[in-house]
A and B are shown apart, each in its own frame.
Chain A
Amino acid sequence: MAQSQPRTRVGQPQPQPLADRLDGATAREAVPPAVAAPPTLGSAADLVAPRQRSLWGDAWRRLTRNKLAVIGLVVVVSFIAIAVLAPVLAPYGQSEVVDFRLTRTEPSWTWPLGLDQNGRDIFSRLLYGARVSLVVGVLSQGLVLLIGIPVGALAGYYGGRVDNILMRSVDVVYAIPQLLLVLIFVNLFGPGLVNIFIAIGLVGWVTEARLVRGQFLALREQEYVNAARVSGSTGWQIMLRHLLPNSLTPIIVALTFGIPTAIFTEAALSFVGVGILPPQASWGQMVGDASQPGYIQTDPYMLAAPVAAIGLTMLGFTFLGDGLRDALDVRGND
């Protein structure tokens, strides 16, 4: 920390070094892109001044400088591409039996990942499985954020009675074992892709709400929040412009774990037999199929492919999430 001299932040108007130095805490979030130095008409210096960058533009620059984050981004983007392009890339259909006599065939040049217990091409099923996994992972987390953030934010910011009512409701949902609750919802709606991600989302938001609430609870006592309040910001402004940006770190970290958690919940459901409907391929189901006691010793390649796919996706999301976290943390060293 030798270079801890106040550096002028990019995106920060130049003539305010004093404010920057005085309060490190505000600097973290008080860099809304709109506050860029107002152009003074007629000043020639403005024409050659460095281009103003937004907080997000800055974050992007830092993100792309981080090798692991770029790897993560590449992995995530490739998986999205694979999921979208599965029908084009896969040599066989997802439930197409290549040869019913060749069940559990080891990988070869013809079938790079082997054939499964029904004689289906594992490689093709893996590509199609990416679809299910990513759809379940991403959409369920979308639902989680949509419900979890507002609930946690209101509870953490307002405290008191609002907090009590909201968090007791969260406790109620939270207190029902998640897998059991998802099972109940699946039982209610029936199995299938859409119902599964809705069920996972409806169950998963409570973790997010608790996390956001804890963060808001700690942050609302900070000086800059008081300052914002004193200077007349409304509750919504404080939550959206001050508390939420400062809570991004744990939200993003939770998200990078939430997506694979959702993927595994789907896997668990498919493993139990109430997940994705059978002919459709899902990584979870493939793991379930391959981890039958008889197969795991004789045909470990069946397990290796889906586990590697899940692990790689996981790595991708985690590296990306970590990178994002560092990139969005304005206090970080470039």
Chain B
Amino acid sequence: MLRYIANRVAWFVPTILAIVALTFILLKLTPGTGIIPAGAQQISPDMIRRLEAQYGLDKPLPEQFGIYVANAVRGDFGESFAFRPQTVSSIIARTFPISLRLGAYATVFAVVVGVTLGVLAAVNQNGPLDYVSVTAAILFYSLPNFVMGFLLILLFVVLLPGRGVDLGFNIGGLESWQDWVLPTVALGAAPLATIARYTRSSVVEAIRSDYVRTARAKGLMERRVIVRHVLKNALIPVITLVGPIFAAVGTGSFFVEKVFNIPGMGPFFVDSMTAKDQPMILAVVLIYGIFLAVMNLLVDVLYGLIDPRIRY
């Protein structure tokens, strides 16, 4: 197992390099350098050339890539094209912790509620509780999180008047703990539904298996059968979901952070691409990549520890 982990960690470096390289190549294939803001006019070709030279965009691609990697290793991700003269590092340092915290809340919310709903649905398969939780999961899932955000705002403004919030959606900001509730729900809803569904189908499958039949035949109490035999086996596929979910949710959501006016990292995943802000795109890709690699390793290690049928 230790060798396996060491092996995987050793893979991190080439994987991350490949991620950055792929993004880099794809970005270079798309038209435009992003050095000129979209709305800008009347910039002389000479000026453009000077700007490109200043940011090293005139060098051959392999050299550009080499310079980028060399700087990135030292923690220098360059200046944002869209937010000059701010550096990418300063923007990330300001926004990432906020997204991470929100993502952690959303993940905990999704796992706790999702697993509970899924197990309840499976144990009462085809009963009323099953339909209620499946339908709830589907509704959560079928609302895109930006719509969910708007609806939550409307709903809570109506249900909880007197919080000084008008309908102008200036609910944004994160001053008190209540401000975290709505974004957490909006962000966690879709993962919650995914977790609930996988839990349900996984538990249903486990309940029908021979070892559960054996456990029941031994005369174990239903509660014990479910907790010790069914859940132990059925939650393994669910674990694989949680890693990527946390990575996706913890790096910020474009829509949720836009709707709730949260100063997190989420908007950069879309805005920096529409602006073609190369240094920013590479930085968010890098953060997401490292985050995900760590989460996947954790998941695989847990998988091996929990399920002895899996050998590495």
Residues of A at the B interface (CB closer than 8 Å) are 1, 4, 24, 164, 168, 171-177, 179-181, 183-185, 187-188, 210, 214, 217-218, 221, 249-250, 253, 257, 260, 264, 267-268, 271-272, 274, 284, 287, 291, 293, 296-297, 303, 307, 310-311, 314-315, 318, 322, 325, 329, 331-333
* Residues of chain A within 8 A of B248, CB atoms compared: 177
A117 to B168, CA, bound (A): 19
* CB atoms of B26 and A188 under 8 A apart: yes
Considering the complex, give the chain A residue whose CB is closest to the CB of B139: A311
* CB atoms of B255 and A268 under 8 A apart: yes
Considering the complex, give the chain A residue whose CB is closest to the CB of B16: A175
Interface-facing stretch out of B37-45, B63-71, B288-296: B288-296
* CB atoms of B205 and A318 under 8 A apart: no
* Residues of chain A within 8 A of B138, CB atoms compared: 311, 314-315, 318
Which are the 8 A-B pairs with shortest beta-carbon distances? A314-B142, A175-B289, A311-B142, A187-B30, A183-B273, A172-B18, A175-B292, A175-B19
* CB atoms of B284 and A221 under 8 A apart: no
Tell me the residues in window 195-249 of chain B with beta carbons closer than 8 Å to chain A beta carbons: 197-198, 201, 205, 208-210, 213, 216, 237, 240, 244, 248
Q: Which of B30, B201, B270, B293 contacts A175 (CB 8 A)?
A: B293
Whether a CB of chain A sits under 8 angstroms from the CB of B167 is yes
Q: Which of A272, A293, A325 contacts B169 (CB 8 A)?
A: A293
* Residues of chain A within 8 A of B311, CB atoms compared: 221
* CB atoms of B143 and A307 under 8 A apart: yes
* CB atoms of A179 and B19 under 8 A apart: no
Tell me the residues in window 1-17 of chain B with beta carbons closer than 8 Å to chain A beta carbons: 11, 14-16
Q: Which of B198, B216, B307, B310 contacts A1 (CB 8 A)?
A: B216
* Residues of chain B within 8 A of A296, CB atoms compared: 150, 154
If A218-B310, A267-B144, A318-B138 touch, whether A184 touches B27 (CB-CB below 8 Å) is yes
* Residues of chain A within 8 A of B26, CB atoms compared: 181, 184-185, 188
Would you give the shortest CB distance from B54 to chain A, in whole angstroms? 24
* Residues of chain B within 8 A of A172, CB atoms compared: 15, 18-19, 22
* Residues of chain B within 8 A of A314, CB atoms compared: 138, 141-142
A181 to B209, CA, bound (A): 40
A271 to B146, CA, bound (A): 10
* CB atoms of A1 and B213 under 8 A apart: yes
Considering the complex, give the chain B residue whose CB is closest to the CB of A315: B138
* CB atoms of A331 and B23 under 8 A apart: no
* CB atoms of A274 and B274 under 8 A apart: yes
Whether a CB of chain A sits under 8 angstroms from the CB of B285 is yes
* Residues of chain B within 8 A of A322, CB atoms compared: 134, 201
* CB atoms of A176 and B147 under 8 A apart: no
Chain B binding surface, main DSSP class: helix
Q: Which of A4, A184, A188, A250 contacts B213 (CB 8 A)?
A: A4
A332 to B125, CA, bound (A): 12
* CB atoms of B141 and A176 under 8 A apart: no
A322 to B198, CA, bound (A): 11
Whether a CB of chain A sits under 8 angstroms from the CB of B269 is yes
* Residues of chain B within 8 A of A181, CB atoms compared: 26
Q: Which of B146, B273, B292 contacts A184 (CB 8 A)?
A: B273
Whether a CB of chain A sits under 8 angstroms from the CB of B107 is no
Whether a CB of chain A sits under 8 angstroms from the CB of B281 is yes
* CB atoms of A210 and B293 under 8 A apart: no
* Residues of chain B within 8 A of A307, CB atoms compared: 142-143, 147
Residues of B at the A interface (CB closer than 8 Å) are 11, 14-16, 18-19, 22-23, 26-27, 29-31, 134-135, 138-139, 141-144, 146-147, 150, 154, 167-169, 194, 197-198, 201, 205, 208-210, 213, 216, 237, 240, 244, 248, 251, 254-255, 269-270, 273-274, 276, 281, 284-285, 288-289, 292-293, 296, 303, 307, 309-311
If A177-B251, A179-B270 touch, whether A287 touches B285 (CB-CB below 8 Å) is no
Q: Which of B142, B154, B273 contacts A297 (CB 8 A)?
A: B154
* Residues of chain A within 8 A of B169, CB atoms compared: 293
Would you give the shortest CB distance from A284 to chain B, in whole angstroms? 8
If A172-B15, A172-B19, A274-B274 touch, whether A268 touches B144 (CB-CB below 8 Å) is yes
**Subset of 8 A-B contacts with CB under 8 Å:** A172-B18, A184-B23, A187-B273, A291-B150, A297-B167, A318-B134, A318-B197, A332-B208
If A1-B213, A172-B18, A325-B201 touch, whether A177 touches B146 (CB-CB below 8 Å) is no
If A176-B23, A176-B289, A296-B150 touch, whether A184 touches B30 (CB-CB below 8 Å) is yes
* Residues of chain B within 8 A of A175, CB atoms compared: 15-16, 19, 285, 288-289, 292-293
A325 to B201, CA, bound (A): 9
* Residues of chain A within 8 A of B284, CB atoms compared: 177, 180
* Residues of chain A within 8 A of B270, CB atoms compared: 179-180, 183, 272
* Residues of chain B within 8 A of A293, CB atoms compared: 168-169
* CB atoms of A272 and B144 under 8 A apart: no
* Residues of chain B within 8 A of A250, CB atoms compared: 201, 237
Which of A176, A267, A287 has the most CB atoms of chain B within a 10 A radius of its CB? Answer: A176
* CB atoms of A217 and B201 under 8 A apart: no
A250 to B198, CA, bound (A): 8
* Residues of chain B within 8 A of A168, CB atoms compared: 11, 14-15, 18
* CB atoms of B139 and A176 under 8 A apart: no
* Residues of chain B within 8 A of A253, CB atoms compared: 197-198, 201
